[in-house]
Amino acid sequence: MTDRQLANLQVFLVEPSPTQQHIIMQYLHSCEIDDITCVGSGAELFEQLKRSRPDLVISAMYLPDMTGVELVHALRNDGESYEMAFLLISSETNIQYLEPIRQAGAIAILPKPFSRESLRTALHSTLDYIRPEKLRLDHIDIEDLRVLLVDDSEFSLKYLTKVFNNIGIEQITTASDGKQALQLFNHYYFDLVVTDFNMPEMDGLQLVDHIRNNPERGSTPILMVTSEQNQSRLAAIEKSEVSAILDKPFEPISIKRLLLHLLN
């Protein structure tokens, strides 16, 4: 994706502060994005969505009528808006508030102040998400790949499914926890397992351990996509037998790079 392609993005900016609106708009203009609609609340955004569907919604965490969490959940619960790219720009650092944003499939979470380069990266991720190119593998037809997605967040499952569909993978089975995933893994063949870490019933590490102990398909590639911030738990993931680890939120192109590495 080139910077020139960014100029075609349509952006809705939800920011109650006129000063922050001005700063973010300047950054967007520097990336040649001019199709920007500014609103100050969640209610104003949803009024605008009745008239137009943008490529990207950029929002602050705290709005006059709702939080960024409530906003992205409302978008994800809207049948016409749930696949829309979402970017949070906030000075909030509390994991309790940021975790639901990560789980809802945000393109990125940028701090205040943010750099022009970090915004440009998020915008390119948006392009890769809304105008994807199919993945090409050396020895496998991408349409033949069978993938098992495991996550206890419905929003995250929908987002991951969209990302994998975008690159040409259509044969996707989903599970809401490790226990359900293991039952599916034991009954059906999968070329790749993509799992979250924190889940009820059976977490991601327990699922990895069960898969690796399968006498016939223990070598199946496993990608762990996690928003885990606890250092000791991250260390445990890194020491496990996962094939690769990806942080939430992630750039969609990161999935392509990892699949090329894992499956070629």
Residue 229 has pLDDT above 80, yes or no: no
State how far the Cα of 224 lies from the Cα of 98, in Å rounded to an integer: 19
- Please give the average per-residue pLDDT across 93-119, as a whole number: 92
State how far the Cα of 12 lies from the Cα of 75, in Å rounded to an integer: 13
Distances (CA, A) of 243 to 82, 109, 221, 223: 30, 26, 6, 6
CATH architecture of 3-130: 3-Layer(aba) Sandwich (3.40)
State how far the Cα of 254 lies from the Cα of 18, in Å rounded to an integer: 34
- pLDDT tens digit string along 52-102? 999 999 999 999 999 999 999 999 998 888 889 999 999 999 988 999 999
| Neighbour count for residue 240 (Cβ, 10 Å) | 17
Fold of 142-263: Rossmann fold (3.40.50)
Residue % of the chain over a pLDDT of 70: 96
- Please give the average per-residue pLDDT across 223-227, as a whole number: 86
pLDDT at 164: 92
Pairing of strands 108-111, 146-150: unpaired
Handedness of CA 55, 19, 46, 154 (dihedral sign): positive
How many residues are recorded in the chain?
264
- Please give the average per-residue pLDDT across 25-37, as a whole number: 95
The label of the residue with tokens 């996707």 reads 172
State how far the Cα of 176 lies from the Cα of 195, in Å rounded to an integer: 10
- Give domain limits for the chain: 3-130, 142-263
Amino acid, res. 30: S
